[in-house]
Amino acid sequence: MEERKIRIMVAKPGLDGHDRGARVLARCFRDAGFEVIYTGCHQTPEQIAASAIQEDVDLVGLSCLSGAHRYLFRQVVELLRQQGADDVTVIGGGIIPDEDFQMLYDAGLKAIFTPGASLDSIVEWVRNNVKPRT
Amino acid sequence: MTPKSEDIEKARKICKGDVRTASRLIRDLEDQIPEAKATIKQLFPHTGKAHIIGLTGPPGAGKSTLIDALIASFQKKNKTVGVLAVDPTSPFTGGALLGDRIRMQRHAENPGVFVRSLATRGALGGLSKAVGDAVYVLDAMGKDLIMIETVGTGQQEVEIINHSHTVIVVLVPGMGDEIQAIKAGILEIADIFVINKANRDGGGQLYSELMAMLDMTKIPAGGWRPPIIRIENVFEPVLFQEKLEELSAKIDEHHQYLVDSQLLGDRLRRKSTLEINEALRVCILEPVLKELVKTGELDQMAEKLIRKESDPYTLAEDVARRYLSAVH
């Protein structure tokens, strides 16, 4: 029978290999009933955008702990936009200094989660803000 | 029914290789949106060119890693590749973690390669219900080869044979008496065996057991005896590549064999019969069930069974009499 499911891609752009958080989040999204595609570490923004389109996801969750989020996150949003996939919601997480938040929101990210954010709060944000496309 | 112009337009885009349109259609097929079938109708005449390869085997056998290497090998032969990788849906939450793609990410930006993860969503045969139609989408996109990866399988998940021309069963040593465990189901469907991680303990034994099993299988003259390819070490690039080219060549050889022996026709006939079966179920059974749910009759029938006022067959015959006047 007809049923729309939320599809999410969890991705780690750049050279940072610390993916414990990303994996925990992927598992947590799974338990929330979403379909989650995990790309693994060391992805280029180009790989992430292309994969998100091939997988037709509603949401891309980017994780970065290396400090390169300013470039990498913005680049993913930009590449999705260039390929006509600006309806894909992009959120980010990791070690993000407060002063970078505005810049990332301006770039098109819809939410940013930093250490201390509870898994429940992230899932709730997704439920409230991401609707599977109709 | 005359086709809608938007469906014709979607089909035209997909035939031109438009990734976004194709991936959205696959999504609609997974979500079982009825309108998606209209686009499949338009795509259908453009399908039938791809060589469809199924890969199956127990969890962790190395199916995704092999597919990654095969993509590279086929790309070297200037062939375009589509991949449908299936992973299980949780029976408790309905969620799924689709992790096959991780092994194939180096091909993500390659325009000749399309990788799509699918969740089983309750289907039991090791695949997703949408696989059949998703294959048509990739075929119409012009992919020369389409690889379907099943979930990690046990004994009975053999549905892959209904969707592929060439079935590769990937095994690994060291799983105890795996031959005993899978003898009846999955070993029968292989066109090609791969013993992956064959350098591990028990690799030789698995090989000889498979050989013995094949020796006991009657293969007609000129028939195809499934080759066994031992892949020893993924971390020795030269050796691994050698074995991989052997596998890749066997895949091509098997396809040629199917064409020459006209067995391809048999496989297509089996697939077509099943497709009609499934389409009938969707067109006949589902609308009736929907109606019975809507009117509450299904619940009433269940109550009757509980109170032993009727039996399932009498109730079903009653429904059939009402809805299928031509047959009864």
pLDDT in tens, chain B (328 residues): 688 899 999 999 999 999 999 999 999 999 999 899 999 999 999 999 999 999 999 999 999 999 999 999 999 999 999 999 999 999 999 999 999 999 999 999 999 999 999 999 988 888 999 999 999 999 999 999 999 999 988 767 788 999 999 999 999 997 766 555 456 677 888 999 999 999 999 899 889 888 888 888 888 888 999 999 999 877 888 889 999 999 999 999 999 999 999 888 888 888 899 889 888 988 888 889 989 999 999 999 999 999 999 999 999 999 998 888 766 5
pTM: 0.91
Q: Residue B20 and residue A53: Cβ atoms within 8 Å?
A: yes
Q: Residue B32 and residue A47: Cβ atoms within 8 Å?
A: no
In a domain, B266, yes or no: no
Question: B281 and B234: one domain?
Answer: no
In a domain, B328, yes or no: no
Place of tokens 């303990």: B201
Question: B183 and B316: one domain?
Answer: no
Q: For residues A67, B98, B133 and B161, what is the CA-based torsion angle, rounded to 10 degrees? A: 140
In a domain, A2, yes or no: no
Q: Which of B218, B233, B261 is where one domain is finished?
A: B261
CB count in 10 Å sphere of residue B140: 26
Question: B129 and B248: one domain?
Answer: yes
Domain that holds residue A31: 7-129
Kindly list the residues from chain A whose CB atom is less than 8 angstroms away from the CB atom of residue B108: 39, 43, 46-48, 50-51, 54
Instruction: Check if B33 contacts A (Cβ < 8 Å).
Output: yes
Distance from CA of B221 to the nearest CA of A (A): 44
Question: B1 and B127: one domain?
Answer: no
B179 backbone dihedrals φ, ψ, rounded to 5°: -65, -45
**What is the domain count for chain B?**
3
Question: B145 and B280: one domain?
Answer: no
In a domain, B319, yes or no: yes
Question: B109 and B255: one domain?
Answer: yes
Which class for A101: exposed (0-12), middle (13-18), buried (19 or more C-beta within 10 A)?
middle
Residue A41's domain is classified under what CATH number? 3.40.50.280
In a domain, B12, yes or no: yes
Residue B233's domain is classified under what CATH number? 3.40.50.300
Distance from CA of B184 to the nearest CA of A (A): 33
Question: B151 and B30: one domain?
Answer: no
Instruction: Check if B298 contacts A (Cβ < 8 Å).
Output: no
Domain that holds residue B300: 273-323
Question: B10 and B141: one domain?
Answer: no
